[in-house]
Amino acid sequence: MTDVPVSELKDYKGIILSGGPMSVYDPHSPTVDRALFNLGVPVLGICYGHQLMQHILGGSVQTSNTKEYGMADLMVLNKTGLFEGVSDATQVWMSHGDNVHHLADGFEEIGRSSDCPFSAVQNLEQSFFGVQFHLEVTHTPEGMTMLDNFLKRCQVRRDWSIEQFIANEVEAIQKKVGDKKVFLLCSGGVDSTVCFALLEKALGPDRVYGLLVDHGMMRYQEADRVKKALNEAGFTNLHVSNQGDLFLSQLAGVAEPEAKRKIIGDLFWQVKEQVAEELQLNPDEWIMGQGTIYPDTIESGGSKHADKIKTHHNRVDLVQQMIDAGKVIEPIAQLYKDEVRQLGESLGFRILWCGANLSQALVWECAFCALTMRWFSMLLILLSLTRPFRMLLTPSMAWATPNYACFRFSRLVCKGMDVRTVTRWLFGPPAVIGICWKSFLQPSPIVFLKSIV
C-alpha cells in the first residue's frame, strides 16, 4: 500500500490501511511490510486493509459466500475500542467480495452482520482494529464516532478546521496566482460554486471570471437558471457559452463511457480556449481554475494504487498536461464533498435556488438534484431526446395514456457505470420517456439506473 520504508513511519501517531478492490491472494495486490505492526502505534484496517492485516498477521481470508454491497445491520458484540459510545445495533456500509475467515492470534470479534462474521475485530492490547465495512462514509451513521475513538487511541491533536483551511488556502491562492487572473470553469454545482467563492475571497471578484458551458445535456433552460442563481449570489463576472451542438455532434454514436468522458473533457478545454480568444484574454495574464475535489482524482485512477472507476472531465490527459505545466489552479482538490459543503457555508454566501438560499440548497444538493447527476443520468438519458443520439436506442414499445401523448420504454445501447462489491460494472440502462399532453414541447424523461437482465 505504501512504498515508504517502515523506518520513516515511526514518528506517526497512527496508521490506516485503506480499502480497495483487490484480493490479498492476488500476487499483484498492494501490501505492507510486516514490520509496520511492530512500530507500537495504533493501526486501523478498513475493508481490504482489514483483510490484509489479518492475512499478514496469521489469519485467513476467503471469498465470501454472500458478496455484500450496500447497507447492513451490524451487531456490536463488545463496546470497547472503536465501539465506545456506539449503539448495540448500528447501520454500516458494506462493499466486499472477500471476508476474514479466521482471526490472527490476539484478535477478538467485536462486531458482525448477518452475512459477514468478523465484520469488526480488535487486538486491544496492541491497538490494532479492523472493520470490513466503510466507517468513513455517510451511510455508516456512527462511523465518525468510531473514527473519533481511533484518533483518541492515536492521541493526536485536533487542529484542522475549515476556518484554518480557508486562511491557508487564501494565502496559497494568492501566492500561486500572483498578479494573474483566474478563468474558472463552473457548472452551478456545489464544487465549482464553492471554488468560485473561495477564489473571489482570495483575489477579489474582478480577478475571477467564470465560464459556464451549456453542453446540451442539461435540463430544459437549466443553464439560464444556473446563471440567474449565480448572479443573485453575487457572481456577476460570468460568461455563458452555448455549445450544445458541438458536444452532441462529437458524442453522436459513441457508447463507451470512457470514450465519452475523454471527448467531454477535451471539448471543455477547447471551448475554454475559444471563449478566451473571443473575449481577448491574454493567456499570459490568466490561469485556468477548476472545482476539482479529491474523489475526482481517486475515481480517475490518479494515485498509484487507485483503480480507475471513471475518468472525470477535469482529469483527461489534456487537462492533466496543463496541470503538470502549472497552468491550472484547483483550490479545493484535497477536500471531500462534505468538506466542500462546510467550506461553502463558512464562506457565508447566499443564493436563491428553487426558493431557498444557497447554504441549504445549492451547497447541500443531493443525488436527486440534476446538477449532481448531470454527468451520469443526463449524459445517458437526456441525450436520447436529441436527434444525434436517437440512433443509439434499440427498438422499443410505445403507447398513449390519458396524460401522455406518448409513453415509451427503451433500452439504451450506451453503457452506464456502477461500482458493486468494489468491482467496476458496465451496464445498459433503460429509459422511460413520456411526452405530456399539457406541455407537449417539454419531454419528461424518467430514468431507472438498473441493468435489464
Catalytic annotation, residues: 47, 134, 136
CB 422 within 8 A of CB 97: yes
CB–CB of 74/120 below 8 Å? yes
Q: Reduce the DSSP state of residue 93 to 3 states and report it.
A: strand
Q: Which three cell numbers stand for residue 160?
A: 484542522
Which of 348, 320, 330 has its CA nearest to residue 195?
A: 330
Question: What spatial distance separates the first Cα and last Cα of the chain, rounded to whole Å?
Answer: 37
- Report CA dihedral (170, 176, 182, 185) to the nearest 10 degrees: -80
- DSSP state string for 232-248: HTT--SEEEEE-HHHHH
Buried b (16+ CB within 10 A) or exposed e, 110-125: bbbbeebebbbbbbbe
The CA distances from residue 200 to 106, 166, 351, in Å, are 54, 12, 16
Closest CA to 276 of 183, 177, 178, 192: 183
Beta-sheet strand order (sheet of 89-102) = 15-17, 43-46, 128-131, 120-123, 108-112, 60-76, 89-102
What is the number of alpha carbons within 13 Å of residue 202 lying toward its C-beta? 27
Cα 343 to chain centroid, rounded: 17
Dihedral sign for Cα 185, 188, 192, 193, please: positive
Which residues, in sequence order, are CB contacts of 376 under 8 Å at separation 6+?
Answer: 416, 417, 449
**Cα–Cα dist 259/317, whole Å:** 12
